[in-house]
Amino acid sequence: MDLRVRAFHMLILVSGLCLLQARGGSSNSVLFLDGSEHKYIRSHPETVDEANPMSPLEVAATVSVLLGVAPPVSLPAESSLKLDKILTPNPFSRPRAVVMLEVQGIGDLSSALHSILQDDSALSGKIISSGNAHIELFGDDEVSQTSIDEPIECDSACAGREFSNLARWLGGSYVGSMESQDGELEFPLASGTSLNLHVSKEADRTFALSLVSLFNGVKTAMEMQEDFEAINQRPVDLFTGCFTGIKLFHMALARLFGSLQKTYQGEVVGVILLNEQTSASSMEPMLDVKLSPRASRWLQERPAANTTNAEVHLVRTTLAWITGIILLLSTLIGVYYLLYMPFNRDTLLYSNVKLD
């Protein structure tokens, strides 16, 4: 079987909501990450720049099209042109899954782009509005939604094992234990320094558990890809979650993106949303998924259009009258000659009269 048909395509959607107030006002942005092998985003679209920013509705419509779902009918024509300049023109080449992750407490990812993308392409742009948008989906027959931020409910020993796995995955170490209140996570950073998290502190423990939940959720997504690899037709999978930690996010996202690149043979697309606001509305996700029951659509019967104009009707009427008059005259002439024909040998033979 062709690898492109069997491969379970993945789209990572990371929506970041910054809770820190920007000095020069709010500055929302969007970042599209494309895979190294399979391309879903155009190389250099003109829409993702400061002169032509996007709205949350346009970003949501872009995700809908990547999922193979029609964008909302309220999308203006100008927004449709922006989508056409962002996405590749092949409508049959779309990712088969979306991982939508909301990251709270992040401001700028530009310092970590090189470590995240490596050889991949990235396209960034501004978002002009701070409002929210809905990704409207219809039923489970098209999209299967799964959460990747399920809270971890385990005892101290289980949490210790999770922390050890997390440290091993990020190339760090975990020493001590939660029972003795001396558990410590140490992670090497790209700058050469290390970051230490004391799990006895509530803030560090919450951050570490959020990272563990994200790690386990992405592992579940990759395991689902392996389980359904042989299935050709199945609903698009939508994985949603929320990440509240930030300090190790750069390195964790780089490793997660690299793992997905390897698992899905480079057929990965990422979209990162950055929202720098401190209002209460910033606690709501910028892109919200709305599942609606599919309404039956019937084709309305329309009356046939009357394209016959007056000239055509006049010509047809005239031809009909002329034909009728000719037939009437022919009938009358035939009856006349039949009634008044002379009785001779030829006419009698013509009339099938037997002669002696």
Pairing of strands 184-188, 173-175: antiparallel
Q: What is the pLDDT of residue 149?
A: 73
Position with higher pLDDT, 18 vs 205: 205
Share of the chain above pLDDT 70, in %: 58
Q: What is the pLDDT of residue 311?
A: 82
Position with higher pLDDT, 166 vs 148: 166
Position with higher pLDDT, 6 vs 212: 212
Q: What is the pLDDT of residue 283?
A: 54
**Tally of CA atoms within 13 A in the half-sphere of 84 that contains its CB:** 7
How distant is the alpha carbon of residue 107 from its chain centre?
25
Structure-block tokens of residue 251: 């390195």
- CA 200/CA 184 separation, integer angstroms: 8
Task: Please list, in sequence order, all residues whose beta carbon lies within 8 angstroms of the beta carbon of residue 336, skipping any fewer than 6 positions away.
Answer: none
Cα angle 309, 315, 319 (rounded to 5 degrees) comes to: 145
Task: Please list, in sequence order, all residues whose beta carbon lies within 8 angstroms of the beta carbon of residue 243, skipping any fewer than 6 positions away.
Answer: 101, 102, 103, 104, 149, 210, 211, 213, 214, 249
Residue 297 has pLDDT above 80, yes or no: no
Residue 3 has pLDDT above 70, yes or no: no
Torsion from C-alpha of 137, 139, 144, 146, nearest 10 degrees: 80
Q: What is the pLDDT of residue 103?
A: 62
Q: What is the pLDDT of residue 42?
A: 80
- CA 221/CA 239 separation, integer angstroms: 8
The predicted model gives 208-216 an average pLDDT of: 83
Per-residue pLDDT reduced to its tens digit, 250-289: 666 677 777 777 777 777 777 666 655 544 444 566 677 7
Residue 213 has pLDDT above 80, yes or no: yes
Per-residue pLDDT reduced to its tens digit, 61-84: 888 888 888 888 888 888 888 888
Give 195's pLDDT tier (boundaries 50, 70, 90): confident
Per-residue pLDDT reduced to its tens digit, 305-347: 555 578 888 899 999 999 999 999 999 998 888 777 776 766 6
Residue 247 has pLDDT above 60, yes or no: no
Structure-block tokens of residue 98: 């979306």
The DSSP-derived string for 85-142 is HHB-S-TT---SEEEEEEEES----GGGHHHHHTTS-EEEEEE-----EEEEEE-TTT
Per-residue pLDDT reduced to its tens digit, 109-120: 544 444 455 545
Least confident of 26-30, 105-109, 135-139: 105-109
Q: What is the pLDDT of residue 324?
A: 93
Residue 59 has pLDDT above 50, yes or no: yes
- Per the prediction, the chain carries an average pLDDT of 70
Structure-block tokens of residue 338: 């039949």
Position with higher pLDDT, 296 vs 227: 227
Q: What is the pLDDT of residue 332?
A: 92
Position with higher pLDDT, 225 vs 352: 225
Q: What is the pLDDT of residue 47?
A: 42
Each domain of the chain, given as residue ranges in start order, spans 3-151+233-292, 313-343
Pick from 65, 30, 63, 76: which is nearest to 49 by CA? 30
Q: What is the pLDDT of residue 134?
A: 82
Q: What is the pLDDT of residue 115?
A: 47
Least confident of 41-50, 65-74, 231-240: 41-50
Position with higher pLDDT, 51 vs 148: 148
- Output DSSP code: residue 46: S
